[in-house]
Structure 1
Amino acid sequence: MQPQPSAPRLTALSARLVTVAGATRTPRRNRYLADLLAFIAGMLNSVGFVAVSVYTSHMTGLTASVADHLVLGSMRLVGTGVEAITCFVLGAMTCAMLFNWGRRRHHEARFANVLVLEALLILAFGGLADQLTWRHRDLVFVAVLCFTMGLQNAIITKISAAQIRTTHVTGMITDIGIELGKAAYRSRTVGLPPVRADLGKLGMLAGLVGLFFVGGVAGAVGYLALGFTVLVAPALVLLVVAAPPLVADLRTR
């Protein structure tokens, strides 16, 4: 029987899933993983804002908010901002510890371990957050979402050697502007090489910003329709992506 025309595509997709979170990195694998994480970050950030009016990935805004509310005397909001920043830092710290633990043991899942922790946190949060009736539950929401954002931003920083961020877009939009400036610049200086824009980088950055935006729309619409359970689907996708390196380590042991 002849294989269906879609079979090669399915094979290619499964191969990408197997390798996208593995220890061996390539620019293409980094791009696939960054695209996924940018979309998920947009969802988490949007859900956090719609639910508790806090952008849980925006550390610049949160730091400024702490300073402003400290002067204005809004100590409750100061406490929320400090909690958010602290949990983001703890998430990044946890990522570094998990990654270095796996790297020193030559684990294939040195990156996937962090993704699994992020997925489990999102899965538990998505499934249980709507059940919380404690009047200070917003503090729990901020803590979990900011910790998760810290995890995610740190792991993509590790994977891409600090070339890619997925939880905020300020740096990416700045780089887009730089590349567009290079493309628009026309130099006639004799003896100097022409200034050329990196179109590949420009396309990657535009794609990441676009996915963050689309994830934000999906998160807001999904939260209004389904509540926090909208986060269950991206958590399951992360688990699927992170599973192959974990299985490979288990087989090796």
Structure 2
Amino acid sequence: MAGFGIVAAWATILALVFASNGAHGWDYAHATFYGDIGGGETMMGACGYGNLFDQGYGLETTALSTALFNNGATCGACFQIRCIDSPWCKKGAGIIRVTATNFCPPDYSKTEDIWCNPPQKHFDLSMSMFLKIAEYRGGIVPVMYRRVMCYKKGGIKFELKGNPYWLLVLVYNVGGVGEVSNVKIKGSNTGWIQMSRNWGQNWQTGVRLDGQSLSFQVTGSDGRIVQSDNVAPSNWQFNRVYEGKNF
């Protein structure tokens, strides 16, 4: 009986550990695909990213259903996905890794094919990634997924847009958890200024910062902060991209 008690205790401990690390556990969802084999819809989207090839995401991307998208807060997060329990799963396909770059909108006018409607957890993959785990004929397959860390080449990128009275900054190529929960900006003549999320991973401020070098503090959803000092020189320009540090 003592041995049984030890086993039960360990089982309880493992269950608690698994629960506390739920982000690393597998969950159930479904997956479809969009676009064509060459990429198709890889420009813009609900996260605000531009050309996904130029920005380093390529075809290893997915749109998320409402239940996963979290009003854009999940943009930039990375997932592992594997096909399960379907005759359309490719044998020996293994696991794919994708970055969340778009939103799969719900359609409340339908009573069927409502995979992106709440509370469904759904991934609308690029065709290229879908075909790595399932047959084209399947169209939609059950999958298991889990959140994983993002590994990006180079530093976090800051694309500056707007006008002298309103600065909009697209934050992308984010490593670590991938999700950005907060951004602050600092001019060479100011203190740290809190930015607000405009949409997706676009962050804004109404403080005039022209003629000043710019620094950024980026906070991930795990609370980690990376600070990039003087990323953009004092003669920075709109529609340019500047590179800082990464997680």
Same fold (TM over 0.5): no
If the TM-score is normalised by the length of the shorter chain, which range does it land in?
under 0.3
Taking CA–CA contacts closer than 8 Å with sequence separation of 6 or more, which of the two structures ends up with the larger relative contact order?
1
User: TM-score, with normalisation over the residues of structure 1?
Assistant: 0.24
The structure that is helix-richer by fraction is: 1
